[in-house]
Amino acid sequence: MIEVKAVVMEKIAEKIEISMKSYPEPDLAPGSVLLRTIYSEVCGTDVHLMKGHLAGVPYPIIPGHINVGVIERMNGSVTDINNEPFQIGDVVTFLDVHETCHACWYCLVAKASTRCPNRKVYGITYSALDGLFGGWSQKIYLKPGVKILKLPSNLTPKDFIAGGCGAPTGLHAVERATIRLNDTVAVQGSGPVGLFAAIFSMISGAGQVIVVDPSQTRLQAAKMVGVDHTIGSTTSDHRIAEVMKLTNQRGADVTIEASGNPQAISEGLRMTRDNGTYVVAGQYTDAGDVVLNPHWQINRKHVDIRGVWGIDYSHFYKTVQLMAKHRDRFGWHRLVSRVYGLGEVQTALEDVESLKIFKAVIAPNDL
Ligand SMILES: [Zn+2]
Ligand SMILES: [Zn+2]
């Protein structure tokens, strides 16, 4: 029997425990694929999973929702969206979101498939008792119907994983923001989501992109990819004043929040111009309430406030294509701060939580 090693988060009493387990290599149902994992990302969501902050997670789980690997086995012919058959040895990724039903009210009437109640997510909402459904594992079982995508030949696995889930989330935020040519875009937060919101704003023709983050370490990545301005002041009033200085005292046309801090909402509205657009993308978990002044900050400002939740296949697909096209300009692989073995997951999580590093990546077959 071939054994597969995987990292499991288990809920024991009120605590989440992390341990390495062995699983038998699964039998493949018709239309399914077995992937040998090359890289899996570690992101803020995994820190939330470790702390038990997300509702409805069926512990024990194998985390790791954004992954890249090599096709090791398949049962039958499996094709991509262009009807091209996959081959053994192809380097592929896949959309972590699976089983969006395309049959419920949200999918069919509201056309908001990221709010479909039937969605399942690899590395988050599948139990380890059901199989290898997360990337912190030497192999991943791709169920029939999982949306698999071959990496373009000029996008290496390390380039791709450098984007992680922040890249398609940032792209979705930019689509929600409907950026126009020459817009000034302010991005609050220079983590992976904020950085990619800034990058996709640049690609979308923004006139200037300003990244705001009180942590100078976090701003390094924004500087590296060449955003127009970074603002690292530690007080809210200073940060707003700096944005005003860059916009003739009017504020940004578009502000994208990717900070994770509820207080950023009030600040972000203040740095957005009248009749501008404000997109909230960084409040993935409930981090608390915030006081707003609806007269000054919403009604009189005539501002458009939009939320953004999750990603669908279109965001994932476009991200991969754009990352391939702009690889030489941005040198994505440089964003990977450190590659950890499967036995170093705890350290990786601590490094992500303390914001010590920008992007942590697990290489499960380098134990
Ligand atoms: Zn649905
Ligand atoms: Zn993630």
Closest ligand to C-alpha of residue 117 is 1
Q: What angle do CA 261, 287, 292 make, to 5 degrees?
A: 65
Q: Are 316 and 95 in contact (CB under 8 A)?
A: yes
Q: How many CB atoms lie within 10 A of CB 220?
A: 13
The HSE-up count of residue 324 (CA atoms within 13 Å, CB side) is 14
pLDDT attached to residue 53: 86
d(CA 313, CA 36): 22
**Distance of CA 255 from the midpoint of ligand 2 (Å):** 22
pLDDT attached to residue 355: 84
CB-based neighbours (< 5 A) of ligand 2, an ion: 43, 45, 165
Alpha carbon 4 to its chain centroid, in Å, reads 26
Alpha carbon 241 to its chain centroid, in Å, reads 30
d(CA 113, CA 176): 15
Strand 184-188 relative to strand 252-257, pairing: parallel
Closest ligand to C-alpha of residue 106 is 1
CA distances (Å), origin 169, targets 85, 196, 248, 295, 358: 28, 8, 30, 30, 16
Low-confidence ranges of the chain (pLDDT < 70): none
Closest ligand to C-alpha of residue 101 is 1
**Distance of CA 33 from the midpoint of ligand 1 (Å):** 24
d(CA 161, CA 182): 30
**Distance of CA 55 from the midpoint of ligand 2 (Å):** 16
Closest ligand to C-alpha of residue 96 is 2
pLDDT attached to residue 54: 87
**Distance of CA 293 from the midpoint of ligand 2 (Å):** 33
pLDDT attached to residue 295: 97
**Distance of CA 314 from the midpoint of ligand 1 (Å):** 16
**Distance of CA 200 from the midpoint of ligand 1 (Å):** 28
CB-based neighbours (< 5 A) of ligand 1, an ion: 101, 104, 107, 116
Provide the H-helix boundaries in 43-87: 44-51
Helix axes 192-203, 166-177, angle to 10 degrees: 50
Q: What is the mean pLDDT of the chain?
A: 96
**Distance of CA 129 from the midpoint of ligand 2 (Å):** 22
Closest ligand to C-alpha of residue 113 is 1
Closest ligand to C-alpha of residue 120 is 1
pLDDT attached to residue 74: 97
**Distance of CA 261 from the midpoint of ligand 1 (Å):** 30
pLDDT attached to residue 314: 96
Q: In what order do the strands lie in the sheet with 304-307?
A: 229-231, 208-212, 184-188, 252-257, 272-280, 304-307
pLDDT attached to residue 218: 86
CA distances (Å), origin 74, targets 36, 126, 263, 273, 311: 12, 21, 48, 53, 26
